[in-house]
Structure formats: structure tokens, C-alpha cells
């Protein structure tokens, strides 16, 4: 074993600064796979996805090959990751300013030069959130990986499969992950290709918490709003009761505004609360108008024909 290490890294003059190909015109093919371990947090307001992922990269190092029969049948070794060449692997749209690299320690190298590099990491990436159907919404957050400095003629990234690995996923209390799609893309800048591999995490919100604590109370308040129309017009408590219901709806509207990002997409529950508040406002205005007419009935003039026609024929 010691003789093998000396021949690979000392006698041969191996350096991790040189891309491991004998012909510089040949790109290094890097196979990328990702396993999602846990959705740590989905910050809808700041549109940031924090996830625990396990990256796995494979490529061939042409300078790290040996004949296993000459070294006692050794076909697999492990070495420190810093001792070998590694691709310039980067997560685009990374929003973690404290990120200082992957948490790699060792790599496994086969006798045919195949390098297997596993790198666990906690990623924080930007994710465009659409809350139009909140709390019954579905989100798709892409994790886009590629090189920052090395183009496709030097390092070529390819996906190992069309689906990401969800076998070891720890369930999240708020989000369900039904699938994770993988796609390879290639963009050209100044005529030079830059390939990347994108893992799209599809998430569905578990809406039970929001239905019980937000949607059902709003629905009950809507029935209360309807009940105010059955109170007698001259009831003195009708206005105070309606104001209390209106303030309750305003509180729920603030709770929804705190939970979703500030965007032009108004969530469904927000629209529902707004309509309930509008109906309650109309009820209060109508009640005030009726009470005013009732108090001034002795001094009032006969109802005009146009008003009688509009309110008694069309509005009613």
C-alpha cells in the first residue's frame, strides 16, 4: 500500500493543479448525482431554500491508474481530497455568503483511475416562490451546478440519471417532496459552452396546519358576516358587532401578509379574506344608512320615486 501511494503521488510528480488528462484537447467528463437528505427551511418571504444534500461526483483521472496485480491486488484506495485534482464545482444562485466549500474529506480511487467524490453540504439557494394558491401551493426550486471558470471544452458535466435520489430523505413537517428532476443544460458565452446540471426539487405544502388555524376561522367569520344581515336594522349592537368581525378579518389578513413574500401574486386565502372584509364593510354602511333613516323618519320627506324604484325593485 505504501509503495502504491509513493508511486502515484511522489515518484510520478503528480500535482492537483493540473487537469488529469494526457491530451489537453480532451475534456474531463464529470458525472453528477445528488441525494436530498432534508429540507431544512423554505423561507417564502425571502425566497431562500435551505437543504441538506449529498453530492456525488465521478470522473477519470488518467494520472492515477495502476496495475492491481503489481500491488498485491489492491483495486481501491482512499486519499485526502486535497491531494488530487477536483473540478471547479459551483452552486449557482448561492445566497450563503459564509459558504467556504464542500464538506469533503476523502475520495475513493479505483485502479482504472475512476475517482468517486462524495461531498455532503448544506445549501442555501434562491428560489422563486409563487404563492397564488397558498396554502395549497406547489413550488419548484432548482439547484443549478456547474463550473465558474472552466468551460465545456475542459470539464464536461453530465447527469447520472434523470431523477434525483430521494431514498434517504427525512420528511419535512411542512413540505412534501414527490420528485426531484435532473436536467443537463448547455449555455454559450462568447461561443464557448458552459454545461451545468440542474436538480429541480418539486415540493407540495402540507396545508393541514393552515387550514385548521387560518382557513377554517376565516370561514366561520364569513358565516358570522352573513348572520349580521339578519339582525334588525335598529339594533344598536349591530354596528359594534360588525366592527369586531371586521377587525378580526384584518388580523387574519396581517397574518397572511407576514407569511408570504411581497409580490403581485395575491394568495387565494388573501383574496377570500378581502372579499369577506368588503362584504362586512357594505353591511356596516347599509346599517348606518338604515339607522339614520329610522331616526329621522319624522322630519324626512317622502321617498323619491327614483329611489323607491332603485332600492325596492333592483337592489332588493
| Cα-based torsion angle of the residue sequence 264, 269, 274, 275 in order, rounded to the nearest 10 degrees | 120
Boundary residue ending a domain (161, 185, 206): 206
Same domain? 241 vs 299: yes
Same domain? 29 vs 139: yes
Instruction: Give me the residue label for grid cell 441525494.
Output: 35
171 DSSP 8-state letter? P
Domains of the chain: total? 2
Per the structure block, which three cell numbers stand in for 69?
496485480
Residue range 41-56: mean pLDDT, rounded: 89
Boundary residue ending a domain (178, 206, 234): 206
H helix or E strand, kind and range, residue 54:
strand 48-60
Same domain? 187 vs 220: no
The three-point CA angle 211-272-285 to 5° equals: 135
Same domain? 213 vs 304: yes
Same domain? 265 vs 155: no
Same domain? 189 vs 240: no
Residue 300: its pLDDT value, please? 59
pLDDT digits (tens, 9 = 90+) for 166-206: 999 999 999 999 999 999 999 888 888 999 999 999 999 99
- Looking at the chain, the whole-number percentage of residues with pLDDT higher than 90 is 27
CATH number at residue 194: 2.70.170.10
Same domain? 230 vs 248: yes
CA distances from 89 to 71, 81, 286 (A): 33, 14, 66
Same domain? 19 vs 57: yes
Same domain? 186 vs 291: no
Same domain? 269 vs 121: no
User: Cis peptide before 108, with omega less than 30 degrees from 0?
Assistant: no
Boundary residue ending a domain (147, 180, 206): 206
Q: State the residue range of the domain holding 141.
A: 2-206
Same domain? 21 vs 151: yes
Highest mean pLDDT among 126-135, 167-176, 230-239, 251-260: 167-176
pLDDT at 104 over 80: no
CATH number at residue 231: 1.20.58.390
Residue 32: its pLDDT value, please? 93
Same domain? 195 vs 110: yes
pLDDT digits (tens, 9 = 90+) for 49-71: 999 999 899 999 999 998 888 88
Residue range 78-106: mean pLDDT, rounded: 79
Amino acid at each position: 500500500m505504501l509503495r502504491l501511494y509513493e508511486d502515484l503521488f511522489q515518484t510520478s510528480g503528480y500535482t492537483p493543479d493540473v487537469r488529469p488528462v494526457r491530451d489537453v484537447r480532451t475534456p474531463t467528463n464529470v458525472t453528477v448525482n445528488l441525494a436530498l437528505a432534508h429540507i431544512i427551511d423554505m423561507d417564502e418571504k425571502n425566497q431562500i431554500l435551505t437543504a441538506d444534500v449529498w453530492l456525488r461526483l465521478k470522473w477519470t483521472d488518467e494520472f492515477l491508474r495502476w496495475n492491481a496485480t503489481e500491488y498485491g491486488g489492491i483495486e481501491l484506495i482512499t486519499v485526502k481530497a486535497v491531494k488530487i485534482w477536483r473540478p471547479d464545482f459551483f452552486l449557482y444562485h448561492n445566497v450563503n455568503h459564509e459558504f467556504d466549500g464542500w464538506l469533503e474529506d476523502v475520495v475513493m480511487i479505483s485502479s482504472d483511475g475512476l475517482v468517486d467524490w462524495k461531498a455532503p453540504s448544506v445549501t442555501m439557494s434562491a428560489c422563486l416562490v409563487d404563492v397564488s394558491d397558498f396554502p395549497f401551493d406547489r413550488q419548484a426550486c432548482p439547484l443549478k451546478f456547474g463550473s465558474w471558470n472552466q468551460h465545456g471544452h475542459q470539464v464536461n458535466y453530465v447527469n447520472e440519471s434523470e431523477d434525483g435520489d430521494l431514498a434517504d430523505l427525512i420528511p419535512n413537517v411542512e413540505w412534501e417532496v414527490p420528485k426531484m428532476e435532473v436536467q443537463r443544460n448547455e449555455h454559450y458565452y462568447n461561443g464557448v459552452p458552459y454545461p451545468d446540471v440542474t436538480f429541480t426539487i418539486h415540493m407540495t405544502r402540507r396545508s393541514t396546519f393552515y387550514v385548521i388555524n387560518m382557513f377554517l376561522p376565516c370561514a366561520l367569520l364569513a358565516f358570522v358576516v352573513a348572520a349580521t344581515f339578519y339582525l334588525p336594522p335598529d339594533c344598536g349592537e349591530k354596528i359594534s358587532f360588525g366592527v369586531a368581525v371586521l377587525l378580526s378579518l384584518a388580523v387574519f389578513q396581517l397574518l397572511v401578509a407576514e407569511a408570504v413574500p411581497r409580490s403581485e401574486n395575491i394568495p387565494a386565502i388573501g383574496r377570500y379574506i378581502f372579499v369577506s372584509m368588503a362584504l362586512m364593510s357594505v353591511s356596516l354602511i347599509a346599517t348606518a344608512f338604515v339607522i339614520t333613516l329610522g331616526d329621522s323618519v319624522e322630519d324626512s320627506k317622502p321617498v323619491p320615486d327614483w329611489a323607491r324604484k332603485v332600492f325596492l325593485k333592483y337592489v332588493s
